[in-house]
Chain A
Amino acid sequence: MDVALAITWLRAAAEAVTADADELTRLDSAIGDGDHGVNMRRGFTAVTAVLDATEFTGVGDVFVRAGTALISKVGGAAGPLYGSAFRAFGKTLPAGPEVGLADLVTALHAGLDAVTRLGGAAPGDKTLVDAYRPALTAFEEAVAGGAALAEAAAGAARAAGDGARATISMTARKGRASYLGDRSAGHQDPGATSTWLIFQALADVTAP
Protein backbone atom coordinates (compact mmCIF):
# COMPACT_ATOMS: atom_id res chain seq x y z
CA MET A 1 0.00 0.00 0.00
CA ASP A 2 1.35 3.40 -0.95
CA VAL A 3 0.30 6.92 0.06
CA ALA A 4 -2.00 7.28 -2.94
CA LEU A 5 -3.85 4.04 -2.13
CA ALA A 6 -4.16 5.03 1.54
CA ILE A 7 -5.76 8.30 0.47
CA THR A 8 -8.02 6.53 -2.03
CA TRP A 9 -9.17 4.10 0.67
CA LEU A 10 -10.06 6.85 3.15
CA ARG A 11 -11.89 8.84 0.46
CA ALA A 12 -13.91 5.75 -0.43
CA ALA A 13 -14.65 5.18 3.28
CA ALA A 14 -15.80 8.79 3.55
CA GLU A 15 -18.09 8.36 0.56
CA ALA A 16 -19.53 5.13 1.97
CA VAL A 17 -20.15 6.61 5.41
CA THR A 18 -21.79 9.67 3.85
CA ALA A 19 -23.95 7.59 1.52
CA ASP A 20 -25.08 5.32 4.35
CA ALA A 21 -25.37 7.99 7.05
CA ASP A 22 -29.15 7.72 7.20
CA GLU A 23 -28.97 3.94 7.56
CA LEU A 24 -26.37 4.23 10.38
CA THR A 25 -28.62 6.75 12.12
CA ARG A 26 -31.63 4.45 11.72
CA LEU A 27 -29.71 1.55 13.29
CA ASP A 28 -28.54 3.83 16.11
CA SER A 29 -32.07 5.10 16.77
CA ALA A 30 -33.17 1.54 17.46
CA ILE A 31 -30.67 0.86 20.25
CA GLY A 32 -28.73 4.08 20.87
CA ASP A 33 -29.42 7.76 20.47
CA GLY A 34 -29.72 8.11 16.71
CA ASP A 35 -26.66 10.16 15.84
CA HIS A 36 -24.06 7.68 14.58
CA GLY A 37 -24.59 8.49 10.90
CA VAL A 38 -24.48 12.24 11.42
CA ASN A 39 -21.37 12.02 13.61
CA MET A 40 -19.48 9.70 11.25
CA ARG A 41 -20.37 11.85 8.25
CA ARG A 42 -19.09 14.96 10.07
CA GLY A 43 -15.88 13.14 11.06
CA PHE A 44 -15.13 11.76 7.61
CA THR A 45 -15.90 15.13 6.03
CA ALA A 46 -13.10 16.47 8.24
CA VAL A 47 -10.87 13.56 7.15
CA THR A 48 -11.51 14.45 3.51
CA ALA A 49 -10.54 18.05 4.20
CA VAL A 50 -7.26 16.84 5.76
CA LEU A 51 -6.61 14.59 2.74
CA ASP A 52 -7.17 17.58 0.43
CA ALA A 53 -4.89 19.94 2.32
CA THR A 54 -1.95 17.83 3.48
CA GLU A 55 1.37 16.72 1.98
CA PHE A 56 1.88 13.36 3.69
CA THR A 57 5.32 12.13 4.77
CA GLY A 58 4.36 8.47 4.46
CA VAL A 59 1.54 5.94 4.56
CA GLY A 60 1.37 5.95 8.35
CA ASP A 61 1.10 9.74 8.38
CA VAL A 62 -2.12 9.55 6.35
CA PHE A 63 -3.83 7.41 8.98
CA VAL A 64 -2.43 9.29 11.99
CA ARG A 65 -3.77 12.58 10.65
CA ALA A 66 -7.08 11.02 9.69
CA GLY A 67 -7.39 9.61 13.20
CA THR A 68 -6.62 12.99 14.75
CA ALA A 69 -9.35 14.56 12.61
CA LEU A 70 -11.84 11.92 13.77
CA ILE A 71 -10.99 12.49 17.45
CA SER A 72 -11.41 16.25 16.92
CA LYS A 73 -14.69 16.15 15.04
CA VAL A 74 -16.81 13.09 15.80
CA GLY A 75 -17.46 13.23 19.55
CA GLY A 76 -19.41 10.49 21.27
CA ALA A 77 -17.71 7.14 21.69
CA ALA A 78 -17.13 6.70 17.97
CA GLY A 79 -14.67 9.63 17.76
CA PRO A 80 -12.16 8.40 20.34
CA LEU A 81 -12.56 4.76 19.25
CA TYR A 82 -12.15 5.23 15.48
CA GLY A 83 -9.67 8.06 15.95
CA SER A 84 -7.47 6.05 18.30
CA ALA A 85 -7.72 3.00 16.01
CA PHE A 86 -6.58 4.95 12.94
CA ARG A 87 -3.83 6.70 14.90
CA ALA A 88 -2.50 3.42 16.32
CA PHE A 89 -2.76 1.83 12.86
CA GLY A 90 -0.76 4.69 11.32
CA LYS A 91 1.82 4.92 14.09
CA THR A 92 2.56 1.20 13.82
CA LEU A 93 3.25 1.28 10.08
CA PRO A 94 6.93 1.69 9.15
CA ALA A 95 7.98 5.10 7.86
CA GLY A 96 8.10 5.54 4.13
CA PRO A 97 5.97 5.89 1.02
CA GLU A 98 4.99 2.21 0.81
CA VAL A 99 4.18 -0.55 3.29
CA GLY A 100 3.80 -4.31 2.88
CA LEU A 101 1.03 -6.76 3.73
CA ALA A 102 2.74 -7.97 6.91
CA ASP A 103 3.00 -4.34 8.05
CA LEU A 104 -0.74 -3.92 7.50
CA VAL A 105 -1.48 -7.02 9.59
CA THR A 106 0.62 -5.69 12.47
CA ALA A 107 -1.01 -2.27 12.18
CA LEU A 108 -4.53 -3.76 12.13
CA HIS A 109 -3.70 -5.53 15.40
CA ALA A 110 -2.52 -2.22 16.89
CA GLY A 111 -5.74 -0.54 15.82
CA LEU A 112 -7.89 -3.22 17.44
CA ASP A 113 -5.76 -3.10 20.60
CA ALA A 114 -6.38 0.65 20.82
CA VAL A 115 -10.13 0.11 20.55
CA THR A 116 -10.27 -2.58 23.22
CA ARG A 117 -7.93 -0.65 25.54
CA LEU A 118 -10.11 2.46 25.39
CA GLY A 119 -13.53 0.84 25.27
CA GLY A 120 -12.94 -2.44 27.04
CA ALA A 121 -15.23 -4.35 24.69
CA ALA A 122 -14.85 -8.09 24.25
CA PRO A 123 -16.10 -10.15 21.30
CA GLY A 124 -19.85 -10.67 21.61
CA ASP A 125 -20.50 -7.35 23.39
CA LYS A 126 -22.27 -6.03 20.27
CA THR A 127 -19.75 -3.35 19.32
CA LEU A 128 -17.51 -2.52 16.37
CA VAL A 129 -15.09 -5.16 17.72
CA ASP A 130 -17.51 -7.81 16.43
CA ALA A 131 -16.85 -6.64 12.85
CA TYR A 132 -13.21 -5.59 13.27
CA ARG A 133 -11.90 -8.78 14.88
CA PRO A 134 -13.20 -11.24 12.24
CA ALA A 135 -12.07 -8.87 9.48
CA LEU A 136 -8.57 -8.80 10.96
CA THR A 137 -8.52 -12.59 11.31
CA ALA A 138 -9.61 -13.07 7.69
CA PHE A 139 -7.05 -10.53 6.46
CA GLU A 140 -4.25 -12.12 8.48
CA GLU A 141 -5.08 -15.65 7.32
CA ALA A 142 -5.30 -14.56 3.69
CA VAL A 143 -1.90 -12.86 3.91
CA ALA A 144 -0.41 -15.95 5.62
CA GLY A 145 -1.79 -18.02 2.74
CA GLY A 146 0.00 -15.85 0.20
CA ALA A 147 -2.94 -13.73 -0.94
CA ALA A 148 -2.45 -10.33 -2.54
CA LEU A 149 -3.94 -7.18 -0.98
CA ALA A 150 -7.11 -7.25 -3.11
CA GLU A 151 -7.93 -10.81 -2.08
CA ALA A 152 -7.13 -10.22 1.60
CA ALA A 153 -9.21 -7.04 1.63
CA ALA A 154 -12.15 -8.79 -0.01
CA GLY A 155 -11.99 -11.55 2.63
CA ALA A 156 -11.79 -8.98 5.41
CA ALA A 157 -14.83 -7.12 4.05
CA ARG A 158 -16.85 -10.34 3.84
CA ALA A 159 -15.89 -11.25 7.41
CA ALA A 160 -16.73 -7.76 8.66
CA GLY A 161 -20.15 -7.99 7.00
CA ASP A 162 -20.79 -11.40 8.54
CA GLY A 163 -19.64 -10.03 11.89
CA ALA A 164 -21.89 -6.99 11.65
CA ARG A 165 -24.91 -9.14 10.80
CA ALA A 166 -24.05 -11.48 13.67
CA THR A 167 -24.49 -8.58 16.10
CA ILE A 168 -28.26 -8.68 15.41
CA SER A 169 -28.77 -11.55 17.83
CA MET A 170 -26.38 -10.21 20.46
CA THR A 171 -27.29 -8.39 23.69
CA ALA A 172 -25.26 -5.22 24.10
CA ARG A 173 -22.85 -5.01 27.03
CA LYS A 174 -21.05 -1.77 26.18
CA GLY A 175 -22.11 1.72 25.24
CA ARG A 176 -25.57 3.21 25.30
CA ALA A 177 -27.24 0.11 23.85
CA SER A 178 -26.29 -1.80 27.02
CA TYR A 179 -28.94 0.16 28.96
CA LEU A 180 -31.59 -1.68 26.98
CA GLY A 181 -30.55 -5.06 28.28
CA ASP A 182 -32.24 -7.86 26.35
CA ARG A 183 -34.17 -5.34 24.26
CA SER A 184 -30.98 -4.56 22.34
CA ALA A 185 -31.15 -7.99 20.69
CA GLY A 186 -32.74 -8.07 17.24
CA HIS A 187 -30.95 -4.98 15.98
CA GLN A 188 -27.68 -4.72 14.03
CA ASP A 189 -25.02 -2.71 15.85
CA PRO A 190 -24.37 0.65 14.14
CA GLY A 191 -20.66 0.70 15.11
CA ALA A 192 -20.07 -2.77 13.68
CA THR A 193 -21.88 -1.60 10.56
CA SER A 194 -19.66 1.46 10.05
CA THR A 195 -16.58 -0.74 10.59
CA TRP A 196 -17.88 -3.04 7.85
CA LEU A 197 -18.23 0.00 5.54
CA ILE A 198 -14.58 0.94 6.15
CA PHE A 199 -13.31 -2.57 5.37
CA GLN A 200 -15.65 -2.78 2.37
CA ALA A 201 -14.15 0.49 1.08
CA LEU A 202 -10.67 -1.08 1.12
CA ALA A 203 -11.98 -4.10 -0.78
CA ASP A 204 -13.68 -1.83 -3.34
CA VAL A 205 -10.63 0.33 -4.06
CA THR A 206 -8.27 -2.66 -4.36
CA ALA A 207 -10.60 -4.86 -6.40
CA PRO A 208 -9.05 -5.79 -9.74
Chain B
Amino acid sequence: MKKFINDPADVVAEALAGLAAAHPGLRVNAGEQYVARADAPRPGKVALVSGGGSGHEPLHGGFVGAGMLDAACPGEVFTSPVPDQILAATKAVDGGAGVVHIVKNYTGDVMNFQLAAELAADEGLSVETVLVDDDVAVENSTWTAGRRGTGATLLVEKIAGALAEEGGKLGEVAAIGREVNAASGSFAYALTAGTTPAAGRPGFDLPDDEIEAGVGIHGEPGRRREKLRPARELVRSALDAILDARPLTRGDRALVLVNGLGGTPLIELYLVFGEVAAVLAERGVEISRNLVGNYVTSLDMAGLSITLTKATDEMIRLWDAPVNTPGLRWGA
Protein backbone atom coordinates (compact mmCIF):
# COMPACT_ATOMS: atom_id res chain seq x y z
CA MET B 1 0.00 0.00 0.00
CA LYS B 2 1.27 3.44 -0.94
CA LYS B 3 -0.85 6.31 0.39
CA PHE B 4 -0.32 9.88 1.53
CA ILE B 5 -1.21 9.19 5.15
CA ASN B 6 0.41 9.29 8.56
CA ASP B 7 -1.19 6.59 10.71
CA PRO B 8 -4.05 4.54 9.16
CA ALA B 9 -6.02 5.06 12.39
CA ASP B 10 -5.91 8.87 11.97
CA VAL B 11 -6.92 9.18 8.31
CA VAL B 12 -10.53 10.29 8.82
CA ALA B 13 -9.77 12.80 11.58
CA GLU B 14 -6.82 14.30 9.71
CA ALA B 15 -8.77 14.56 6.45
CA LEU B 16 -11.54 16.38 8.36
CA ALA B 17 -8.96 18.79 9.77
CA GLY B 18 -7.79 19.48 6.23
CA LEU B 19 -11.36 19.99 4.99
CA ALA B 20 -11.88 22.53 7.78
CA ALA B 21 -8.65 24.33 6.92
CA ALA B 22 -9.55 24.51 3.23
CA HIS B 23 -13.16 25.61 3.64
CA PRO B 24 -13.88 28.27 6.28
CA GLY B 25 -17.53 28.16 5.19
CA LEU B 26 -17.81 24.81 6.94
CA ARG B 27 -17.84 24.11 10.65
CA VAL B 28 -16.07 20.86 11.44
CA ASN B 29 -16.81 19.40 14.84
CA ALA B 30 -13.83 17.13 15.42
CA GLY B 31 -15.05 15.79 18.76
CA GLU B 32 -18.47 14.64 17.59
CA GLN B 33 -17.20 14.04 14.06
CA TYR B 34 -19.54 15.94 11.79
CA VAL B 35 -19.30 18.69 9.18
CA ALA B 36 -21.91 21.47 9.21
CA ARG B 37 -22.62 24.71 7.43
CA ALA B 38 -21.05 27.55 9.38
CA ASP B 39 -24.40 29.40 9.31
CA ALA B 40 -26.42 26.45 10.69
CA PRO B 41 -28.90 26.24 12.22
CA ARG B 42 -30.95 28.45 9.92
CA PRO B 43 -34.25 29.22 11.63
CA GLY B 44 -37.28 27.99 9.71
CA LYS B 45 -35.28 26.06 7.12
CA VAL B 46 -35.62 22.30 6.78
CA ALA B 47 -32.16 20.85 7.43
CA LEU B 48 -30.60 18.01 5.43
CA VAL B 49 -28.24 15.59 7.13
CA SER B 50 -26.48 12.77 5.37
CA GLY B 51 -23.54 10.56 6.14
CA GLY B 52 -21.90 7.27 5.53
CA GLY B 53 -18.53 5.66 5.52
CA SER B 54 -15.54 7.78 4.59
CA GLY B 55 -13.70 7.04 1.37
CA HIS B 56 -16.44 8.33 -0.98
CA GLU B 57 -15.26 11.93 -1.10
CA PRO B 58 -16.49 14.47 -2.02
CA LEU B 59 -19.65 12.63 -0.82
CA HIS B 60 -20.87 13.61 1.83
CA GLY B 61 -18.77 16.26 3.57
CA GLY B 62 -17.95 17.94 0.26
CA PHE B 63 -21.67 18.50 -0.38
CA VAL B 64 -22.28 20.56 2.77
CA GLY B 65 -23.14 24.16 2.05
CA ALA B 66 -25.80 26.51 0.69
CA GLY B 67 -28.28 24.69 -1.53
CA MET B 68 -27.31 21.18 -0.52
CA LEU B 69 -26.57 19.52 2.86
CA ASP B 70 -26.63 21.24 6.24
CA ALA B 71 -24.47 18.56 7.84
CA ALA B 72 -22.65 15.35 7.02
CA CYS B 73 -21.46 12.59 9.34
CA PRO B 74 -18.40 10.75 8.07
CA GLY B 75 -17.86 7.31 9.57
CA GLU B 76 -14.61 5.40 9.53
CA VAL B 77 -13.48 4.35 6.05
CA PHE B 78 -16.30 2.29 4.47
CA THR B 79 -18.05 2.08 7.86
CA SER B 80 -21.30 3.87 8.59
CA PRO B 81 -21.32 6.66 11.17
CA VAL B 82 -22.59 5.88 14.69
CA PRO B 83 -25.89 7.12 16.14
CA ASP B 84 -24.16 9.57 18.54
CA GLN B 85 -22.62 11.62 15.77
CA ILE B 86 -25.76 11.54 13.60
CA LEU B 87 -27.81 12.75 16.59
CA ALA B 88 -25.29 15.49 17.37
CA ALA B 89 -25.32 16.70 13.75
CA THR B 90 -29.12 16.54 13.59
CA LYS B 91 -29.48 18.68 16.73
CA ALA B 92 -26.76 21.11 15.60
CA VAL B 93 -28.50 22.01 12.32
CA ASP B 94 -32.18 21.73 13.26
CA GLY B 95 -33.72 25.13 12.61
CA GLY B 96 -37.11 24.18 13.99
CA ALA B 97 -38.57 23.12 10.63
CA GLY B 98 -37.47 19.50 10.86
CA VAL B 99 -34.55 17.46 9.55
CA VAL B 100 -34.31 15.13 6.55
CA HIS B 101 -31.89 12.21 6.86
CA ILE B 102 -30.60 11.05 3.48
CA VAL B 103 -29.45 7.45 3.89
CA LYS B 104 -27.85 5.11 1.38
CA ASN B 105 -29.40 1.66 1.56
CA TYR B 106 -26.64 -0.30 3.24
CA THR B 107 -27.45 -2.39 6.29
CA GLY B 108 -25.13 -0.48 8.64
CA ASP B 109 -26.16 2.98 7.46
CA VAL B 110 -29.84 2.12 7.74
CA MET B 111 -29.49 0.76 11.30
CA ASN B 112 -27.35 3.61 12.64
CA PHE B 113 -29.56 6.32 11.10
CA GLN B 114 -32.64 4.52 12.41
CA LEU B 115 -31.26 4.48 15.96
CA ALA B 116 -30.30 8.17 15.62
CA ALA B 117 -33.76 9.12 14.30
CA GLU B 118 -35.38 7.34 17.26
CA LEU B 119 -33.12 9.22 19.69
CA ALA B 120 -33.90 12.52 17.92
CA ALA B 121 -37.63 11.82 18.09
CA ASP B 122 -37.26 11.18 21.82
CA GLU B 123 -35.86 14.71 22.09
CA GLY B 124 -38.80 16.18 20.21
CA LEU B 125 -37.22 16.67 16.78
CA SER B 126 -39.10 15.93 13.56
CA VAL B 127 -37.03 13.66 11.32
CA GLU B 128 -37.95 12.27 7.90
CA THR B 129 -35.73 9.64 6.28
CA VAL B 130 -35.11 9.38 2.55
CA LEU B 131 -33.59 6.03 1.61
CA VAL B 132 -31.52 5.96 -1.57
CA ASP B 133 -31.45 2.64 -3.44
CA ASP B 134 -30.65 3.28 -7.07
CA ASP B 135 -28.16 0.50 -7.85
CA VAL B 136 -29.93 -1.76 -10.34
CA ALA B 137 -27.16 -4.38 -10.22
CA VAL B 138 -28.70 -5.80 -7.08
CA GLU B 139 -31.97 -7.61 -7.39
CA ASN B 140 -34.49 -6.12 -5.01
CA SER B 141 -35.80 -9.21 -3.34
CA THR B 142 -36.19 -10.76 0.05
CA TRP B 143 -32.94 -12.59 -0.68
CA THR B 144 -30.70 -9.55 -0.46
CA ALA B 145 -30.36 -6.45 1.66
CA GLY B 146 -31.96 -4.62 -1.27
CA ARG B 147 -30.62 -2.24 -3.86
CA ARG B 148 -27.70 -0.11 -2.76
CA GLY B 149 -27.52 3.63 -2.59
CA THR B 150 -24.88 4.93 -5.02
CA GLY B 151 -24.65 7.78 -7.56
CA ALA B 152 -28.25 8.96 -7.20
CA THR B 153 -27.37 10.08 -3.66
CA LEU B 154 -25.78 13.18 -5.20
CA LEU B 155 -28.92 14.01 -7.19
CA VAL B 156 -31.17 13.47 -4.16
CA GLU B 157 -28.96 15.72 -2.00
CA LYS B 158 -28.73 18.45 -4.66
CA ILE B 159 -32.41 18.57 -5.61
CA ALA B 160 -33.86 18.14 -2.11
CA GLY B 161 -31.26 20.61 -0.82
CA ALA B 162 -32.39 23.21 -3.35
CA LEU B 163 -36.04 22.84 -2.34
CA ALA B 164 -35.10 23.19 1.35
CA GLU B 165 -33.06 26.30 0.56
CA GLU B 166 -36.04 28.02 -1.09
CA GLY B 167 -38.32 27.25 1.85
CA GLY B 168 -39.80 23.82 1.14
CA LYS B 169 -41.56 22.16 4.07
CA LEU B 170 -40.29 18.98 5.71
CA GLY B 171 -42.77 16.71 3.91
CA GLU B 172 -42.13 18.39 0.55
CA VAL B 173 -38.34 18.15 0.82
CA ALA B 174 -38.54 14.46 1.79
CA ALA B 175 -41.05 13.82 -1.02
CA ILE B 176 -38.87 15.30 -3.79
CA GLY B 177 -35.92 13.32 -2.44
CA ARG B 178 -37.91 10.10 -2.67
CA GLU B 179 -39.18 11.07 -6.11
CA VAL B 180 -35.64 11.60 -7.43
CA ASN B 181 -34.55 8.26 -5.97
CA ALA B 182 -37.50 6.42 -7.50
CA ALA B 183 -36.71 7.99 -10.89
CA SER B 184 -33.03 7.00 -10.77
CA GLY B 185 -31.05 3.93 -11.70
CA SER B 186 -27.29 3.30 -11.54
CA PHE B 187 -24.83 0.65 -12.64
CA ALA B 188 -21.09 0.49 -11.91
CA TYR B 189 -18.00 -1.31 -13.17
CA ALA B 190 -14.68 -1.78 -11.38
CA LEU B 191 -11.37 -2.37 -13.12
CA THR B 192 -9.48 -2.63 -9.81
CA ALA B 193 -10.41 -2.80 -6.14
CA GLY B 194 -9.84 0.08 -3.74
CA THR B 195 -7.42 -0.27 -0.83
CA THR B 196 -8.59 0.83 2.62
CA PRO B 197 -5.86 2.33 4.81
CA ALA B 198 -6.66 -0.16 7.58
CA ALA B 199 -6.56 -3.29 5.43
CA GLY B 200 -3.53 -2.13 3.43
CA ARG B 201 -4.30 -4.25 0.40
CA PRO B 202 -6.99 -4.27 -2.29
CA GLY B 203 -10.42 -5.56 -1.24
CA PHE B 204 -10.37 -8.12 -4.06
CA ASP B 205 -8.10 -9.24 -6.86
CA LEU B 206 -9.03 -9.00 -10.51
CA PRO B 207 -7.01 -10.60 -13.30
CA ASP B 208 -5.67 -8.14 -15.89
CA ASP B 209 -8.38 -8.97 -18.42
CA GLU B 210 -11.38 -9.10 -16.05
CA ILE B 211 -13.72 -6.51 -14.58
CA GLU B 212 -16.29 -6.58 -11.80
CA ALA B 213 -19.77 -5.73 -13.09
CA GLY B 214 -22.31 -4.28 -10.68
CA VAL B 215 -19.73 -3.33 -8.08
CA GLY B 216 -20.81 -1.30 -5.04
CA ILE B 217 -19.10 1.78 -3.64
CA HIS B 218 -17.62 0.13 -0.55
CA GLY B 219 -15.14 -2.09 -2.33
CA GLU B 220 -17.51 -5.02 -2.06
CA PRO B 221 -17.35 -7.16 -5.18
CA GLY B 222 -20.25 -7.02 -7.58
CA ARG B 223 -22.53 -9.73 -8.84
CA ARG B 224 -20.39 -11.16 -11.59
CA ARG B 225 -17.00 -11.00 -13.19
CA GLU B 226 -16.60 -10.70 -16.90
CA LYS B 227 -13.94 -10.14 -19.52
CA LEU B 228 -12.98 -6.56 -20.26
CA ARG B 229 -14.77 -5.36 -23.41
CA PRO B 230 -14.70 -2.08 -25.36
CA ALA B 231 -16.30 0.82 -23.48
CA ARG B 232 -19.05 1.01 -26.13
CA GLU B 233 -20.24 -2.49 -25.21
CA LEU B 234 -19.91 -1.98 -21.45
CA VAL B 235 -21.98 1.20 -21.65
CA ARG B 236 -24.70 -0.57 -23.63
CA SER B 237 -24.88 -3.38 -21.06
CA ALA B 238 -25.02 -0.89 -18.19
CA LEU B 239 -27.74 1.19 -19.85
CA ASP B 240 -29.75 -1.95 -20.66
CA ALA B 241 -29.64 -2.89 -16.98
CA ILE B 242 -30.64 0.61 -15.86
CA LEU B 243 -33.41 1.08 -18.42
CA ASP B 244 -34.76 -2.37 -17.65
CA ALA B 245 -35.34 -1.30 -14.06
CA ARG B 246 -36.13 2.39 -14.66
CA PRO B 247 -37.57 2.72 -18.15
CA LEU B 248 -36.99 5.89 -20.20
CA THR B 249 -38.85 6.12 -23.47
CA ARG B 250 -38.71 8.33 -26.56
CA GLY B 251 -39.36 11.93 -25.58
CA ASP B 252 -38.34 11.49 -21.93
CA ARG B 253 -35.71 13.75 -20.42
CA ALA B 254 -32.84 12.55 -18.24
CA LEU B 255 -30.30 13.83 -15.78
CA VAL B 256 -27.11 11.86 -16.43
CA LEU B 257 -24.21 11.35 -14.03
CA VAL B 258 -21.05 9.63 -15.23
CA ASN B 259 -19.16 9.21 -12.01
CA GLY B 260 -15.59 8.09 -11.46
CA LEU B 261 -14.89 5.79 -8.51
CA GLY B 262 -11.60 7.49 -7.66
CA GLY B 263 -8.94 5.91 -9.83
CA THR B 264 -10.26 6.51 -13.35
CA PRO B 265 -9.08 9.59 -15.28
CA LEU B 266 -11.50 12.14 -16.68
CA ILE B 267 -10.50 11.30 -20.25
CA GLU B 268 -12.14 7.89 -19.81
CA LEU B 269 -15.18 9.34 -18.05
CA TYR B 270 -15.77 11.74 -20.94
CA LEU B 271 -15.32 8.93 -23.44
CA VAL B 272 -17.97 6.97 -21.56
CA PHE B 273 -20.29 9.98 -21.40
CA GLY B 274 -20.02 10.23 -25.17
CA GLU B 275 -21.13 6.61 -25.48
CA VAL B 276 -24.02 7.21 -23.08
CA ALA B 277 -25.11 10.25 -25.08
CA ALA B 278 -25.01 8.24 -28.32
CA VAL B 279 -27.17 5.44 -26.94
CA LEU B 280 -29.70 7.82 -25.42
CA ALA B 281 -29.87 9.77 -28.68
CA GLU B 282 -30.68 6.51 -30.52
CA ARG B 283 -33.48 5.90 -28.06
CA GLY B 284 -34.84 9.43 -28.38
CA VAL B 285 -34.09 10.36 -24.76
CA GLU B 286 -32.98 13.95 -24.23
CA ILE B 287 -30.14 14.61 -21.77
CA SER B 288 -31.39 17.71 -19.96
CA ARG B 289 -28.42 18.10 -17.63
CA ASN B 290 -25.26 16.11 -17.04
CA LEU B 291 -22.40 15.84 -14.62
CA VAL B 292 -19.09 14.10 -15.38
CA GLY B 293 -16.41 13.65 -12.73
CA ASN B 294 -15.44 11.99 -9.45
CA TYR B 295 -18.30 12.62 -7.01
CA VAL B 296 -19.26 9.35 -5.29
CA THR B 297 -15.98 7.52 -5.09
CA SER B 298 -14.58 4.32 -3.63
CA LEU B 299 -11.10 5.43 -2.51
CA ASP B 300 -8.65 4.61 -5.32
CA MET B 301 -10.85 2.13 -7.18
CA ALA B 302 -10.51 2.34 -10.94
CA GLY B 303 -14.05 2.20 -12.20
CA LEU B 304 -17.12 4.27 -12.89
CA SER B 305 -20.85 4.38 -12.38
CA ILE B 306 -23.57 5.63 -14.68
CA THR B 307 -26.74 7.12 -13.19
CA LEU B 308 -29.85 8.06 -15.17
CA THR B 309 -32.68 10.02 -13.59
CA LYS B 310 -35.96 10.53 -15.41
CA ALA B 311 -36.33 14.28 -15.03
CA THR B 312 -39.35 16.48 -14.42
CA ASP B 313 -39.48 20.27 -14.92
CA GLU B 314 -39.31 20.70 -11.14
CA MET B 315 -36.23 18.47 -10.82
CA ILE B 316 -34.44 20.39 -13.60
CA ARG B 317 -35.35 23.73 -12.01
CA LEU B 318 -34.02 22.60 -8.63
CA TRP B 319 -30.91 21.07 -10.24
CA ASP B 320 -30.16 24.50 -11.77
CA ALA B 321 -30.65 26.36 -8.45
CA PRO B 322 -27.49 27.85 -6.90
CA VAL B 323 -25.27 25.53 -4.90
CA ASN B 324 -22.11 26.42 -3.02
CA THR B 325 -20.26 23.45 -1.55
CA PRO B 326 -16.66 22.23 -1.79
CA GLY B 327 -17.65 19.48 -4.21
CA LEU B 328 -20.41 21.10 -6.28
CA ARG B 329 -20.71 24.80 -7.03
CA TRP B 330 -22.65 26.82 -9.55
CA GLY B 331 -24.82 29.94 -9.67
CA ALA B 332 -23.46 31.06 -6.31
Contact = CB atoms under 8 A, between A and B. Distances in A.
Nearest to B8: A38
B83 A71 contact: yes
A178 B144 contact: yes
Given A71-B115, A119-B107, A180-B221, A34 B76 contact: no
A33 B82 contact: no
A179 B216 contact: yes
A147 to B, nearest CB: 35
A174 B76 contact: no
A35 B145 contact: no
Contact of B78 (A33, A79, A173, A181): A33
Nearest to A80: B111
A65 to B, nearest CB: 14
Contact of B79 (A25, A35, A178): A35
Contacts of B198: 25, 35, 38
A80 B144 CA distance: 19
Contacts of A38: 76, 198-199
A76 interface: yes
B107 A179 contact: no
Nearest to A75: B79
A11 B100 CA distance: 39
Contact of A81 (B75, B82, B106, B111): B111
B143 A173 contact: yes
B204 A29 contact: yes
Q: Which of A74, A80, A175 has most B Cβ within 10 Å?
A: A80
Given A75-B80, A76-B80, A34 B223 contact: no
B79 A76 contact: yes
A39 interface: yes
B83 A35 contact: no
Interface residues of B, number: 38
B115 A35 contact: no
B148 interface: yes
B264 interface: no
Most buried by B among A39, A42, A81, A176: A176
Nearest to A26: B199
A33 B203 contact: yes
A45 to B, nearest CB: 11
A77 interface: yes
B147 to A, nearest CB: 9
A144 interface: no
Interface in A149-183: 173-176, 178-181, 183
A71 B111 CA distance: 10
B107 A71 contact: no
Contacts of A118: 111
B199 A35 contact: yes
A71 to B, nearest CB: 6
Interface in B156-214: 196, 198-199, 203-204, 214
Contacts of A173: 142-144
Given A35-B196, A80-B115, A75 B75 contact: yes
A58 interface: no
A73 interface: yes
A24 B145 CA distance: 21
Contacts of A57: none
A106 interface: no
B82 A79 contact: yes
A25 B214 CA distance: 23
A173 B219 CA distance: 19
B218 interface: yes
B107 A176 contact: yes
Given A33-B219, A76-B108, A77-B108, A39 B199 contact: no
A60 interface: no
Given A174-B145, A176-B107, A75 B203 contact: no
A75 B108 contact: yes
B79 A179 contact: no
Interface of B: 53, 75-84, 106-108, 111-112, 114-115, 137-138, 142-145, 148, 196, 198-199, 203-204, 214, 216, 218-223
Given A38-B199, A39-B76, A80-B114, 6 more contacts: A25-B198, A33-B196, A34-B199, A77-B107, A175-B145, A179-B220
27 contacts: A33-B203, A33-B218, A34-B199, A34-B203, A35-B77, A35-B79, A35-B198, A39-B79, A42-B76, A71-B83, A71-B115, A72-B82, A75-B80, A75-B82, A75-B112, A76-B75, A78-B108, A178-B143, A178-B144, A179-B144, A179-B214, A179-B216, A179-B221, A179-B223, A180-B220, A180-B221, A183-B223
